[in-house]
Amino acid sequence: MSNLFLPERAPLDDETGRFTSAEIARQPETWKKTWTDLRAQKKEIASFLDGILAHEDLNIVLTGAGSSAFIGDSVASTWQRVFSRNARAVPTTDLVTDFDELILTSQPLLLISFGRSGNSPESRAVVDIANRKCDQVFHLLITCNPEGELAQMKSRDNSFVFLLPEGAEDQSLAMTNSFTSMALAALLIPSLFEAADEEITRQIQALARTGNRIIGDFSERLFNIAETDFSRIVFLGSGPLLGIARESHLKVQELTNGRVVGKFDSFLGFRHGPKAIINDKTLLVYLLSNDEQTRRYERDLVQQIARHDIDVTTAAVADRRFGDLNAIDFMIQPGDENQIDNHFWAILCTLPSQIIGFYKSIQLSLNPDNPSPEGTISRVVEGVKIYSEPAVH
């Protein structure tokens, strides 16, 4: 599959959105290549992490800017569970301004940095700040660009660089393939320590099959969703899917150049005020968990929204075990014969927002490859000045 499905009624020429279309469509293949590359480097990765994880007071911080920061939101809990070390996501955009408030510099730190280009000014700055301020710091850098500044850290003793396969680095403004592939790498690394390679391979194969079904079998339905009349979009998710909901709201907002305003929340949190955003121009997207206990809470919210006399369009992404929900206008249920772990399922739940955003961008007569021609947003953020010296009072 080289490009997304486009119906004849889509106002698209041969050039508009061609990079974004191809980058979305090739994600399942990139996922398989990511696992192949990680598996080949298993001994080197284990050797790097074993000594670091011997520190019982180790803090693990996952960081990046923009979409790269949201990777940490989705995968931090896996690092904490597998290694029994405190792990949390903190954006570089927070660390640059408030490093001493957010990091215990006297304790060993494993800083996991994500970067599509590896040239974000905040990402480079945080590495330098951590090296300068922490008593002991180690860097795991996951990036797509072999020429980027993060990738150039591979020669440092306290650093390990995992470079994503060729083709993972998106050329488009919005991160799609690079986001899911870096997120997958961040899930696979701790998985190397708790699961057999054969089991991980089964998960990756199921992940790729199901991803291809979303991209292929459900593209027309996602196009129909994008055709509905909405100027607001809200994504709800629980656990690792909350980070995906955060990424999803940004993806549609970016691809439509802000003409669709995005929001995100958890299913339980949505009741506490944010539900007020719903109006008759809202698309509400449920990213439903694979965990049965979590789904009980999610189902309650779905049914509550359906009972209210609110004119809102709803869509849901769920596996087949969730069953049919008559209260939802559009269901995306790709399914697979193998149950997909909830953290890998989160990777899949990123795809619908990418595809909805792509189609909505076209329907708004924008170019998904560069939906912000006036430069309000750009592929690599510019204009950020890093202050290395303390301010003088």
Q: How far apart are CA 368 and CA 210, in angstroms?
A: 24
Residue indicated by tokens 């209260």: 327
d(CA 207, CA 184): 10
For residue 385, what pLDDT band results from cuts at 50, 70 and 90?
A: confident
Among the ranges given (73-77, 178-182, 318-322), the one the predictor scored with the smallest mean pLDDT: 318-322
Residue 117, amino acid: S
**What pLDDT was estimated at residue 357?**
97
Q: What is the pLDDT of residues 154-165, one digit of tens each?
A: 878 899 999 999
For the segment 91-100, the average pLDDT, to the nearest whole number, is 96
The pLDDT > 90 percentage for the chain reads 74
Mean pLDDT of the chain: 91
Whether 275 shows a pLDDT value over 60: the answer reads yes
Q: How confident is the model at residue 386 (pLDDT cuts 50, 70, 90)?
A: confident
Task: Write the CATH number of the domain with boundaries 21-201.
Answer: 3.40.50.10490
Distance, C-alpha 317 to centroid of its chain: 16
Query: Domains of the chain: which residue ranges?
Result: 21-201, 204-363
Is pLDDT of 382 > 90? no
Q: What angle do CA 73, 259, 212 make, to 5 degrees?
A: 55
Per-residue pLDDT averaged across 108-129, rounded? 93
Distance CA(159)–CA(139), nearest Å, equals 5
Report the candidate in 68, 18, 4 with the shortest Cα–Cα distance to residue 172.
Answer: 18
pTM as predicted = 0.93
CA–CA gap between residue 182 and residue 69 (Å, rounded): 11
Tell the burial category of 205 from Cβ atoms under 10 Å away from its Cβ (0-12, 13-18, 19+): middle
Confidence bin at 379 (pLDDT 50/70/90): low
Residue 92 pLDDT exceeds 90: yes
Tell me, what's the pLDDT at 276? 83
Instruction: Quickly tell me which residue has 């997909």 as its tokens.
Output: 340
* The pLDDT of residue 391 is above 60: no
Taking residues 279-292, report their average pLDDT.
93
Contact (CB, 8 A) for 87 and 79 = yes
C-beta of residue 268 within 8 angstroms of C-beta of residue 297: yes
Number of other residues whose CB lies within 10 A of the CB of residue 169: 22
Beginning with the edge strand found earlier in the chain, give each strand of the sheet holding 232-236 in spatial order.
Answer: 261-265, 232-236, 282-287, 313-317, 330-332
Contact of 287 with 313, CB cutoff 8 Å? no
Greater confidence (371 vs 11) lies with 371
What is the rounded CA–CA span in Å between residue 73 and residue 183? 10
pLDDT number for residue 310: 72
Mean pLDDT of 9-37: 88
Provide mean pLDDT across the span 4-18.
Answer: 73
Give 136-148 pLDDT, tens digit per residue: 999 999 999 999 9
| Residue with the larger pLDDT of the pair 376 and 287 | 287
DSSP state of 371: S
**Residue 308 CB contacts under 8 Å (≥ 6 apart), including other chains:** none
Same-fold call for 21-201 versus 204-363: yes
pLDDT of residue 154: 81
Residue type, 98: D
39-66 pLDDT per residue, tens: 999 999 999 999 999 999 999 999 999 9
The percentage of residues in the chain with a pLDDT greater than 70, rounded to a whole number, is 92
pLDDT, position 13: 63
Query: With 60 as the cut, is the pLDDT of residue 10 above it?
Result: yes
Is residue 31 scored above 70 in pLDDT?
yes
Q: Quickly state the pLDDT bin for 389 (edges 50, 70, 90).
A: low
Predicted confidence at residue 145, as pLDDT, reads 93
CATH fold of 204-363: Rossmann fold (3.40.50)
Q: Which two tokens stand for residue 168?
A: 């993972």
Asked whether the beta carbons of 230 and 313 are under 8 A apart, the reply is yes
Helix (H, G, I), strand (E, B) or coil at 336: coil
Looking at residue 370, the DSSP 8-state letter turns out to be: S
Query: Counting every residue, how long is the chain?
Result: 393
Hey, which bits of 195-303 come out as E strands? 232-236, 261-265, 282-287
Distance separating alpha carbons of residues 339 and 319, to the nearest angstrom: 9
Q: How far apart are CA 367 and CA 376, in angstroms?
A: 14
Out of 10-19, 81-90, 172-181, 375-384, which region has the weakest mean confidence (pLDDT)? Answer: 375-384
316 three-state secondary structure: strand
CA gap 213, 345 in Å, rounded? 13
Tokens of 369: 């490859």
